[in-house]
Amino acid sequence: MCNKVDVVHVPDGFLDAPTSVATGVLAAGTVALALRKAREELDERTAPLAGLTAAFVFAVQMMNFPVGAGTSGHLIGGALTAVLVGPWTAVLCMTVVLLVQAVLFADGGLTALGTNVTLMALVAVGVGYGLFRLLVAVLPRTRTGFLIGAGVGAFASVPLAALAFVALFAAGGVADISLGAVAATMGGIHVLIGLGEAAITVVVLGAVLAARPDLVHGAAHLRSADALLRRPEVVAPR
């Protein structure tokens, strides 16, 4: 068997049943809330972009990149998606990606689906978008400030999602091993993977911002600041 592509999300078995049920409930609640909140982010123009963004994240998650020491990493895409189409829509997009991967491609366990949604649709999106918002509020209202905010958010989202996994492992890990060691190993390698996450996020957002700044959810402040305003007719009414 030659498995060129080996994206690994949390498989079945790592976490005990109560922990998996708890993350399942948390994930379901988050998705239910997102289904209501995403309405405010989606209109005729942005809904197709959201579908495309999910498909794009699925594709790029297949592209494992080497991070040295015989290890690889892949994009999560939580920060990228949230900045592009809005955080609640990003929860839905990421959940669809994880669902398709788990059901069709056996990537990430079925009983671990709630865990993977919690880590990548909730923690990665929340951390990535939260940090992005924080940074664009204090950075200059420019294209560069926007990309720095998105890049830092994307970077931090990866080790923090990894540490969230360690927290779940502490609560319900099946194996009896040193948590400090797991945290150091998971956190360390995911700092490196986070650099790749930031690079991909900045390149993609830079390209979309150059082509269609009016479609980028997180760039509304640039449009109102007149920095990128070239198509006054498509600016959303306030």
Instruction: Write out the binding residues for other proteins, residues 119-148 only, by CB under 8 A.
Output: none
Question: Using the rule CB under 8 A, which residue among 23, 56, 83, 217 binds other proteins?
Answer: 56
Say how many C-beta atoms besides its own lie within 10 A of residue 119's C-beta.
27
Output the DSSP codes for 179-198: HHHHHHHHHHHHHHHHHHHH
For the bound state, the minimum distance from the C-beta of residue 164 to other proteins, rounded and expressed in Å, comes to: 12
Binding mask 176-205 for other proteins (x = CB under 8 A): -xx--xx--xx--xx-xx------------
Gap between the terminal Cα atoms of the chain: 56
For other proteins, the closer CB: 136 or 162: 162
Q: Point out which span in 17-25, 52-60, 139-147, 216-224 binds other proteins (CB under 8 A).
A: 52-60
234 touches other proteins (CB under 8 A): yes
Q: What are phi and psi of 67, to 5 degrees?
A: -120, 20
- Closest by CA to 88, choosing from 50, 140, 144, 137, is 50
For the bound state, the minimum distance from the C-beta of residue 189 to other proteins, rounded and expressed in Å, comes to: 4
For the bound state, the minimum distance from the C-beta of residue 108 to other proteins, rounded and expressed in Å, comes to: 8
Q: What are phi and psi of 176, to 5 degrees?
A: -105, 85
Q: Look up residue 178 and give its amino acid.
A: S
210 touches other proteins (CB under 8 A): no
Tokens coding 26: 């948390």
Question: Using the rule CB under 8 A, which residue among 28, 29, 105, 144 binds other proteins?
Answer: 105
